[in-house]
């Protein structure tokens, strides 16, 4: 079973507590474009709970850095900012692509006159976006030197000739040849791009919504410093950056004339009201975005309450009781003019097991038994009750709610807490306490210690406490290795870890992205567990080629079955997300799958 479009819309409305048009949307009409009535710039201030890694979209996988680059670099297609659950519309393209040859050929016509941000790399000349910019950027994903985490996802689409171009660079150990033509990427003229694929890809439109355009001269000018110099065509540009401390983005004054003209679903009262308020307004509506990096929950919460931040994304778990009363905004916050949005996120939290690690990895029966015992021994109901303050539901598999392939009726071993069965599994497969010290040893008698990467924030500490108590009860010794989130990500991507607990959000309306975590070509990228199983790869490849329908849903079930059987991940929860905003923030809506939302927010200063 999967959710219909109407189910998703109804669920989103119920989760947000929408019963009609919000009162705040009946406030005074919005001010003219740009600066507020007093002449001061309109500034949106909020915080990231983890540090950025940089601003080259080809090299990124973390949501915080990608949120910034989503406003700097533009894709041919985009998501309608208001439509729920989603609606694809033109971005830099004039229209949706012409599709031919059974979803093997996609022709895009770009809007003439789109300009890149001015930069010294352009030597004082205005630089127009052209079809060759997308060809160059796509090739960068294939350049072995970029080590792009997005390469495997793009390779699944099968653009003709790119695989061979990458293999030639790897074989010759020479620099990647960006000038060599490939059959699957053609600039028909200055503003027309044709992409040809090896096999039918019915969902290639989703790929085109996340395809950035970069200028070759900028990348070559900055070389290995390109992470520090984002130059795109988007509505915002980097104005100031203090690494792991502060990011300041300013409106790109040369941004083309884009007007607010969304098409929300007729059932979406809030979307309709926003459309009425903002229709015809020029985007972006704010002049500046200031992002602080505040990893600890308490100072992030206090900064919002004290008015230092306009928006608080994802109220930290410890402060949910202060923010909500029975799912509704606490009266003391409402009196201050604060508003809230509470929705079911299309995300999942999970523990990653390194399948190449000699302790927890491998496909041998005793290794699978260890991972499944750890899964069964984790008290997810307690995590939800205490660590998440009730704001989550237990995950049965890795596919996230609201995406195609998610089955709300699915019930699996991942959704159960069975410590007795976990201990029996460990005993049966040789993970026993041989010396009587209370801790189990490995089947060969050697010492067993589980090493979990973690962060220093309060929620992580609480979840670590629950995790350690659960493992103590199984007789499994645990060592916690605390570091910054960005450093833990680097360690995990390079395979230098044993276990890590992390959250992941959907990047598109299709659930296949969640299953990339088990796809062998994505090892070290989307596949953080470094899981390799030919049977899973075959199921995954079937998903890629099949059109949506019963046969593809069956392929989802087979892929899920294999992931759950070998347990390279322990899925924890799907989170409820509460965002808070002060009265001056107008138009903020948490996007389900996309990251570029700043342009459709106004500050009513």
Domain-embedded: residue 327: no
Same domain, 436 and 365: yes
How many whole angstroms separate alpha carbon 179 and alpha carbon 146? 17
- pLDDT at position 272 is 86
Which residues make beta-bridge pairs with 5?
none
Residue 522 lies in a domain: yes
377 and 281 housed in the same domain: no
Q: Using the predicted structure, report yes or no on whether residue 12 has a pLDDT greater than 60.
A: no
Q: Is residue 425 part of a domain?
A: yes
Are residues 386 and 481 part of one domain? yes
| 4 burial via Cβ count (<10 Å: 0-12, 13-18, 19+) | exposed
Q: How confident is the model at residue 530 (pLDDT cuts 50, 70, 90)?
A: very high
* % the chain with pLDDT above 70: 94
Q: Quick one: average pLDDT of 407-419?
A: 94
Q: What is the pLDDT of residue 143?
A: 98
Q: Kindly state the tokens that stand for 80.
A: 């309608």
Query: Are 461 and 488 contained in the same domain?
Result: yes
Q: Is residue 24 part of a domain?
A: yes
pLDDT tens readout for residues 32-74: 555 555 578 999 999 999 999 999 999 998 999 999 999 999 9
CA-to-CA distance for 418 and 241, rounded, in angstroms? 48
The answer for residues whose C-beta is within 8 angstroms of residue 330's C-beta and 6 or more apart is 322, 323, 324
- pLDDT digits 0-9 by tens, 430-456: 999 999 999 999 999 999 999 999 998
The confidence band for 4, taking pLDDT boundaries of 50, 70 and 90, is very low
pLDDT value, residue 37: 52
Q: Are 37 and 53 in contact (CB under 8 A)?
A: no
Mean predicted lDDT score pLDDT of the chain: 92
Which structural domain, as residue segments, surrounds residue 196?
Answer: 5-288+582-603
- Residues 506, 588: one domain? no
Q: Which of 1-5, 18-22, 100-104, 298-302 has the lowest mean pLDDT?
A: 1-5
Least confident of 10-24, 103-117, 166-180, 203-217: 10-24
What confidence score (pLDDT) does residue 10 get?
Answer: 35
What is the structure's pLDDT at 325? 94
Domain containing residue 66: CATH number: 3.90.76.10
What pLDDT is attached to residue 263? 74
CA distance linking residue 85 with residue 399, whole number of Å: 16
Q: What is the pLDDT of residues 349-362, one digit of tens each?
A: 999 999 999 999 99
Alpha-carbon distance 516 to 519, whole Å? 5
Q: What tens digit of pLDDT does each residue of 539-577 get?
A: 999 999 899 999 999 999 999 999 999 999 999 999 999
| DSSP single-letter state for residue 49 | S
**How many domains does the chain divide into?**
2
Domain contains 331: no
The answer on 587 and 572 residing in a single domain is no
**382 and 506 part of one domain:** yes
> pLDDT confidence of 177, banded at 50, 70, 90?
very high
Is omega for the bond preceding 284 within 30 degrees of 0, making it cis? yes
Residues 393 and 504 in one domain: yes
Shared-domain flag, residues 537 and 586: no
**Which residues face 603 on adjacent strands?**
585
**Interval 232-254 mean pLDDT:** 97
| Same domain (yes/no): 553, 588 | no
Asked if residue 302 is part of any domain, the answer here is: no
Gap between the Cα atoms of 421 and 410, Å rounded: 21
3-class DSSP assignment, residue 107: strand
Separation CA 410–CA 278 (nearest Å): 41
Same domain, 206 and 263: yes
Q: Is residue 301 part of a domain?
A: no
Q: Does a structural domain hold residue 308? A: no
CATH number at residue 510: 3.10.105.10
Nearest C-alpha neighbor of 307 from the set 37, 583, 535: 583
- 188-223: b or e for each residue (b if 16 or more CB lie within 10 Å)? eeebbbbbbbeeebbbbbbbbbbbbbbbbbbbebbe
Residues 279 and 368 in one domain: no
The arithmetic mean of pLDDT across residues 219-246, rounded, is 98
């Amino acid at each position: 079973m999967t959710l219909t479009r109407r189910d998703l819309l109804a669920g989103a409305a119920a989760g947000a507590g929408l019963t009609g048009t919000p009162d705040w949307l009946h406030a005074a009409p919005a001010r003219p474009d740009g600066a507020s009535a007093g002449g001061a710039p309109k500034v949106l201030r909020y915080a990231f709970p983890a540090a950025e890694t940089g601003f080259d979209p080809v090299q990124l996988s973390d949501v915080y850095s990608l949120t910034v680059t989503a406003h700097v670099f533009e894709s041919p297609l985009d998501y309608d900012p208001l439509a729920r659950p989603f609606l694809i519309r033109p971005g830099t393209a004039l229209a949706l692509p012409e599709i031919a040859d059974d979803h093997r050929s996609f022709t895009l016509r770009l809007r003439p006159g789109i300009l890149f941000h001015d930069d010294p790399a352009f030597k004082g000349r205005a630089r127009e976006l052209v079809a060759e910019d997308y060809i160059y950027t796509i090739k960068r994903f294939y350049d072995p030197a970029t080590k792009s985490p997005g390469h495997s996802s793009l390779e699944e689409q099968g653009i003709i000739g790119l695989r061979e171009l990458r293999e030639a660079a790897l074989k010759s150990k020479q620099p990647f040849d960006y000038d060599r033509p490939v059959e699957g990427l053609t600039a028909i003229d200055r503003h027309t791009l044709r992409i040809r694929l090896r096999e039918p890809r019915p969902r290639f439109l989703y790929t085109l919504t996340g395809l950035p355009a970069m200028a070759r001269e900028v990348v070559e000018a900055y070389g290995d410093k390109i992470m520090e110099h984002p130059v795109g065509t988007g509505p915002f540009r980097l104005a100031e950056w203090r690494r792991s401390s502060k990011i300041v983005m300013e409106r790109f004054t040369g941004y083309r004339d884009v007007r607010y003209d969304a098409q929300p679903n007729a059932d979406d009262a809030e979307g309709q009201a926003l459309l009425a308020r903002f229709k015809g307004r020029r985007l972006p509506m704010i002049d500046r975005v200031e992002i602080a990096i505040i990893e600890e929950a308490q100072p992030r919460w206090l900064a919002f309450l004290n008015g230092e931040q306009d928006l608080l994304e994802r109220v930290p778990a410890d402060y949910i009781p202060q923010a909500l009363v029975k799912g509704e905004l606490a009266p003391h916050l409402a009196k201050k003019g604060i508003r809230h949005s509470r929705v079911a996120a299309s995300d999942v939290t999970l523990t990653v097991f390194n399948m190449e690690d000699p302790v927890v990895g491998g496909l041998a029966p005793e290794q699978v038994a260890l991972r499944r015992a750890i899964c069964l021994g984790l008290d997810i109901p307690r995590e939800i009750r205490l660590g998440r303050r009730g704001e989550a539901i237990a995950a049965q598999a890795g596919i996230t709610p609201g995406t195609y392939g998610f089955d709300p009726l699915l019930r699996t071993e991942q959704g159960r807490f069975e410590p007795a069965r976990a201990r029996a599994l460990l005993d049966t497969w040789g993970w026993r306490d041989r010396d009587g010290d209370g801790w189990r040893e490995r089947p060969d008698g050697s010492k067993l210690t589980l090493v979990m990467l973690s962060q220093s924030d309060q929620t992580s500490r609480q979840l670590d406490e629950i995790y350690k108590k659960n493992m103590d009860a199984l007789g499994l010794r645990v060592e916690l290795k605390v570091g910054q989130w960005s450093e833990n990500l680097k360690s995990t991507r390079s395979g230098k870890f044993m276990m890590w607990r992390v959250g992941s959000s959907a990047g598109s309306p299709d659930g296949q992205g969640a299953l990339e975590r088990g796809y062998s070509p994505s090892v070290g990228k989307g596949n953080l567990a470094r899981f390799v199983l030919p049977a899973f790869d075959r199921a995954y490849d079937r998903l890629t080629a099949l059109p949506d329908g019963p046969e593809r849903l069956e392929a989802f079930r087979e892929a899920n079955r294999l992931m759950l059987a070998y347990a390279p991940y322990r899925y924890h929860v799907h989170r409820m997300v509460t965002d808070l905003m002060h009265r001056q923030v107008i138009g903020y809506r948490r996007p389900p799958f996309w990251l570029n939302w700043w342009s459709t927010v106004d500050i009513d200063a």
